[in-house]
A and B are shown apart, each in its own frame.
Chain A
Amino acid sequence: LAKTTQPISMDSYEGQEVNITCSHNNIATNDYITWYQQFPSQGPRFIIQGYKTKVTNEVASLFIPADRKSSTLSLPRVSLSDTAVYYCLVGDMSRGQNFVFGPGTRLSVLP
């Protein structure tokens, strides 16, 4: 299971773009990169998933360089409601492999 490293916490202001980078140096060929968001007392919520290059959905963008040893979650124009913990996970989803969650990145959006 690939281990991930991400900042413990980040602060931002409303309306700014936030980029959270995750390192995963030993990512395997079949591994996908998945990001979740979690609010207090709730289960993690799927945000975005990718394998290489760039993925964009209505919530966020995910940038993955060619070597795939890192990835960056980009949240455009954050609001106070984006204050949450964000988890980066790496694994081969097709084999039902369990995720290994780290402590995540606690994002605080300030007014």
Chain B
Amino acid sequence: DTGVSQDPRHKITKRGQNVTFRCDPISEHNRLYWYRQTLGQGPEFLTYFQNEAQLEKSRLLSDRFSAERPKGSFSTLEIQRTEQGDSAMYLCASSLGVAGGQPDTQYFGPGTRLTVL
């Protein structure tokens, strides 16, 4: 399977614990995006990378959220000191990263379902 993969698919944690999610994009894709989705809502953009560079992070929900893409391939999203309100589906997407004027389609992974008890 050459699509976007995410690990783990499900995570249950206790309030106050730290969690880290991994995303492996489609291999030739330069851009990688993180979203959060709560029940009944559309995905909410969090941050995105162009290769190793994090080009947009103002939408990260708080300073407890951080993301990295150290070698321009896989990415991790960490949530520190989790709260019950962090319970959601965390989605990763990737895109090729094309030059101006052309569409740059995002392809999504299956998501990681986080439950904070």
Q: Which of A17-25, A56-64, A87-95 contacts B (4 or more CB under 8 A)?
A: A87-95
Give how many A residues have a beta carbon under 8 Å from the other chain's beta carbons: 24
B41 CB to nearest chain A CB (Å): 6
A6 CB to nearest chain B CB (Å): 11
How many angstroms between the C-alpha atoms of A103 and B44 in the bound complex?
10
Question: Are B113 and A41 within 8 A (Cβ)?
Answer: yes
Chain B neighbourhood of A95, CB < 8 A: 100
Give how many B residues have a beta carbon under 8 Å from the other chain's beta carbons: 35
Majority secondary structure, A binding face: loop
B111 CB to nearest chain A CB (Å): 5
For residue B91, which residue of chain A has the nearest CB?
Answer: A43
Residue among A42, A46, A51 making CB contact with B107, cutoff 8 Å = A46
Chain B neighbourhood of A100, CB < 8 A: 45
B contacts, CB < 8 Å to A: 4, 31, 33, 35, 40-45, 48, 50, 55-56, 59, 89, 91, 93, 95, 97-111, 113
A contacts, CB < 8 Å to B: 30, 32, 34, 36, 41-46, 49, 51, 87, 93-96, 98-104
